């Protein structure tokens, strides 16, 4: 049985709307190490890249997260192969 403290998962990221434009890509694969594979950890890893990732995902910026097409909170757990979509809240009139 793998040690959950050192195991890794790979998620498929999808960037939508202004995030796709700001990051210059529609998505990517990302491997997370360790037992704390949550949405909050994922966002922290992306913010640490700096640049537009730090700006768009920083404090005070509104970003929604969906895992496998369901909206989730930052404490949601991630599993190997999950699709994680990041997008700004939708407004309309």
Number of domains present in the structure of the chain: 1
CATH value at residue 74: 3.10.20.30
User: Are 17 and 85 a contacting pair, CB within 8 Å?
Assistant: no
Residue 5 has pLDDT above 70, yes or no: no
Q: What is the pTM of this model?
A: 0.89
Burial 67-79 (b: 16+ CB within 10 A, else e): beeeebeeebebe
Q: Examine residue 92 and state whether it is found in any structural domain, yes or no.
A: no
- Domain assignment present for 54: yes
In a domain, 3, yes or no: no
Q: Is residue 93 part of a domain?
A: no
* CA atoms of 39 and 65, how far apart (whole Å): 8
pLDDT per residue as tens digits for the range 61-89: 999 999 999 999 999 999 999 999 999 98
2 within a domain of the structure (yes/no): no
């Amino acid at each position: 049985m793998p040690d959950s403290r050192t195991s890794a998962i790979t998620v498929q990221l999808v960037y939508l709307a202004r995030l796709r434009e700001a990051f210059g890509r529609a998505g990517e694969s990302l491997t997370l190490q360790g037992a704390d594979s949550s949405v909050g950890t994922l966002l922290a890893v992306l913010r640490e890249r700096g640049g537009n990732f730090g700006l768009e995902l920083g404090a005070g910026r509104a970003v929604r997260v969906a895992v496998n097409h369901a909206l989730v909170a930052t404490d949601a757990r991630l599993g190997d192969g999950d699709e994680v979509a990041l997008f700004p809240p939708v407004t309309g009139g």
